[in-house]
Structures are given as structure tokens and as C-alpha cells.
Amino acid sequence: MPENLNIIEFGKKLEINKTTIPGMLLIDIPVNGDSRGWFKENWQNEKMSQLGLPEFDPVQNNISFNAEKGVTRGIHAEPWDKYISIGSGKIFGAWVDLRKGESFGKVFTAELDPSKAIFVPSGVGNSFQALENNTIYTYLVNDHWSAEAQSQYTFLNLADKTVGIKWPIPLDQAILSDKDKNHPEIDKVTPMPPKKTLIIGSNGQLGKALQIEFPEAEGVDRDTFDVSDSNIINERNWRNYETIINASAYTAVDLAETAEGRIDSWKINAYAVSNLAKIAIKNNITLVHVSSDYVFDGSTSEHDENEPFSPINVYGQSKAAGDIIASTAPKHYIARTSWLIGDGNNFIKTMKSLADKGIKPKVVNDQIGRLTFADDLAKGIKHLIETKPKYGTYNITGDGKSADWSTIASEVYRITGHNPDDVSGVSTKEYYKDKDNIAPRPLQSTLNLNKIKTAGFNPKDWQESLIEYLNKTN
């Protein structure tokens, strides 16, 4: 039997375990062997992703052949993820978190043979020492080398005493390159900054809330960043971005029924999303797109994420098209919401103003749904990005009992110390009677929240959020 078969643990099951470094995973790989040699599924995306390996979309496979026991390489951190495994032999691996943040400087070590692999996230320093002659070290990466990418590399000295890696073969007896001997110690290392998050529509009600949840994100609005311009695909280095959150939309539901509005609605809600999807696909970016209850006709009392699209107006049609386009990005979350309330002009502020002026309004009473407060929606989006549940569509609205607009208006009057009976209900048909270019509205807008709750996020009750919102609103 060949000597290197003796060290391989045959027959164990596929397992993925967390390490002491955030995002780094140690993988046990089943290996089947006999006197002839062995076979393994070195990387099996479907099985491994079900067990928690991120969808990291590798684009290149590299192999390092190490002729002698004692060859030691590192410590290098690059701006891409790695999936490291062993083709032959055995290594002692040492990884140091060189990313900006609380875990900077944290160390993890492990021995790898062909029955083990490790997933190393971008910014974590990687190094290893060959423990056998003719060791083959192989790794998948999810970006190609470029001069610009190399300029972002971060290095750490293998012998740094503060980090204190206990190399099996002392470094003065190991085989190192001159370059690896002269890297800086950790107190001289500039931490690798995280990849960027871009918030599109940062001046809108949701955009403002997102900037609070993502204070280091880059924010752009329609005046400074025309999403519908195809030139944006090449105007910046998108490899520096990890996430794009598209909170920009054309929301003038009635104007969308006019000739000019129809063009603008499709331009912003659909064509612009195609540009973002192309960027996300090409650059392995997570695309977060905000959807609407208006993609449905409102004929069912509660809409889940699997319901077929059935829009009844131009705005809804353009939003449904945007959802379809966004879903072409392998890494995408579509956050479907309804009746958004945030920092800006909105229904709640209008009702409060009418109450303060002593006006007794007529408000639609046959459109049913739940309010969604922008800060809660932003927290839900952050939860998706940080916890990384399965990609797809997630309904995120306020929780609680559904209500019609008239009931919500009455609540505003009551909470602000006015007479809720000053609000009277009226049907949608009667409210819009004799008005031109009015888009039909879905009458049932309640979205089922089971999927987002299963993913670990529990939206706040909209009535509780309404009280908090009004208490903060002048």
C-alpha cells in the first residue's frame, strides 16, 4: 500500500464546521480508497451548500506543488475567497484574520490531508507548511488575478511572536522564500477593508433607513447615479463591491398610466435592474432588490413568495419585470414589501397633518394590508445580507393584524389625541370616481411572513411601530 494512504481517514461523512475565525469553515471530505489509491468528491457544490458552504462561484483553480517536507508559504491575504484542499501529502495550515474589525489578528491552525478542506474568506491571511515530500496543495478562488487586486494584498510575517503560530518544523529549519521572510509584523499591518456595499436610492425613505443600518456603505441617488444608463456597468471597479442594495424605484402609480410615465416606470423599475443584474453576475456581487405587493392583483387574502405574478397596472407590471430580472443574478435577495412609511412625505404624515388641522377626511376602506416601516425593512434586509439564508424572494412587511387605509387613518387620529371617528371610509371605486389616469389598485396586499421568520427575522407589529413613529414625528 502506498505510504500516503496510511494518513487518510477513509469512510467518514461530509461535514462542515465553523472555526474560530468568522466565516472560515473546516470541511471533512469522504474519501474512498483501496490498495490502488483513493477517490473523493473534492468540491461538490450542491451537497456542500446545503451544509453551509457559501455560494462563492469559483473562477480559477490553482495548484501549489511542494517538493520537500518543510516548504512553508505565506502569510498572504487576498481580496477573494479560497477553497483549499490537498491532492497528495499533508500540511500544517495557519490562518490569521487580517480583515478590519474585532476579529483582526485571530488565528486558526489545522492539519489538512486529502480528507479535509477549508474555506477561507477574503481578507484572511493564508499560510501552510508541507509535512511530507511531494505535497500537492490546491485551491479554488472566486476572482482572477489583476494588478489592481494585487495592490490590495495584505501580508504578515510568518514568525510574528505576537501572533505566535507554533510551526511543527521550526522556521529556521524550514524552506521559505526571501519575500516571505520579510513581511511586516502585525502591529505594522494595515487591515484589509471589507468590500463595499452600495445603496442605490439613498435619499429615499428606505434609503435613509438603510444608511443607518449600513453606516459605512456608499450611497447614491438618481441625480448622481443613473441606474438606467448602461455605462454604469464599466464606470467603476465593481470587484471592490460585495453587495448592491437597490432601493430606487419609480413609484408614481397613477403617472405610470400615462405615455411618459409608462416609459419612466419601465426604464427605472425594469431596464435599470437589468444593468444591476449584469453587474452582479459578472462580479459575483449579492444583489438586493426591493419589490412590491403591486406585482399581484390582490385577489387572494394573503400572498406568499411562490404566487405567480398578476399585476393589474403599469407600475406593477414594471416591478414584476424587475423581480424577474433581479432573480437572474445567482446571488440575489428580493425583499418584497408593502405600504412603506419612513423619513419623508407619506400617508401617516398626511393623516397627522389633517388631524392637526381639524379636517375630517374620507379614506379608502377596501384596500387591505399592513404598514411597513422603513427602519424595520432595513433591518430585515441587513439580516438577509449578514445571515445569508438561501437566495430568493422574502416578504418583509410589518407584522400583526391586517387593516384597511381608513382604519389606519383612524389609528393616527386616536394616537395623536384626535377623534378617530372624524375619519370616514369610502370604497376605492367611489374615492377615484371622475378622476383621470387612475391606476387600478390591488384590494388585498397582505404578504405572508412565514419565510422571513423561518430565516430568523421577526418583523415588528405595525401598530407598535406606528405609535413609535408618531411619537418621533413633529
CATH code assigned at 234: 3.40.50.720
Active site residue 315: no
Return the SS3 of 99.
strand
Q: CB–CB of 334/327 below 8 Å?
A: yes
Only one residue has cell 430585515, namely 380
Whether residue 325 is preceded by a cis peptide bond, meaning omega within 30 degrees of 0, is no
Q: Which H/E stretch holds residue 337?
A: strand 332-337
User: Which of 129, 164, 188 is a domain's end point?
Assistant: 188
- Are residues 212 and 148 part of one domain? no
Specify whether 138 is located in the same domain as 244. Answer: no
Domain extent for 372: 196-472
Residue 474: its pLDDT value, please? 66
Reading the block at residue 405, the C-alpha cell is 387605509
- Nearest CA among 419, 420, 414, 403 for reference residue 462: 403
Question: Taking the complete model, does pTM exceed 0.85, yes or no?
Answer: no
In this structure, are 176 and 281 located in the same domain?
no
Same domain, 105 and 135: yes
Q: Looking at the structure, tell me whether residues 368 and 450 fall in a common domain.
A: yes
CATH number at residue 146: 2.60.120.10
Among 156, 188, 220, give the residue marking a domain's end.
188
83, 70 Cβ separation under 8 angstroms? no
Could you tell me if 98 and 234 lie in one domain?
no
Q: Which residues of the chain have pLDDT under 50?
A: 1
CA distances from 29 to 39, 73, 81, 313, 347 (A): 11, 24, 19, 52, 56
Are both 230 and 355 inside the same structural domain?
yes
Query: Count of domains in the chain?
Result: 2
User: For the chain, what is the largest distance between any 2 Cα atoms, rounded to a whole number of angstroms?
Assistant: 92
H/E stretch holding 262: helix 259-266
pLDDT at residue 26 in the model? 98
pLDDT digits (tens, 9 = 90+) for 109-144: 999 999 999 999 999 999 999 999 999 999 999 888
**Same domain, yes or no, for 387 and 429?**
yes
255-273 pLDDT, tens digit per residue, is 999 999 999 999 999 999 9
Instruction: Report the 10 Å Cβ neighbour count for 145.
Output: 12
Catalytic status, residue 469: no
Residue 73 and residue 214 in one domain:
no
Domain boundary among 131, 153, 188: 188
* Helix or strand (DSSP H, E) at 321: helix 314-326
Q: Is 211 found in the same domain as 184?
A: no
Q: What is the 3-state secondary structure (H, E, C) of 409-427?
A: HHHHHHHCCCCHHHCEEEC
Residue 326 and residue 182 share a domain: no
Annotated catalytic residue, options 139, 271, 333, 394: 139
User: Do 321 and 273 fall into the same domain?
Assistant: yes
User: Running DSSP on this structure, what letter comes out for residue 285?
Assistant: P
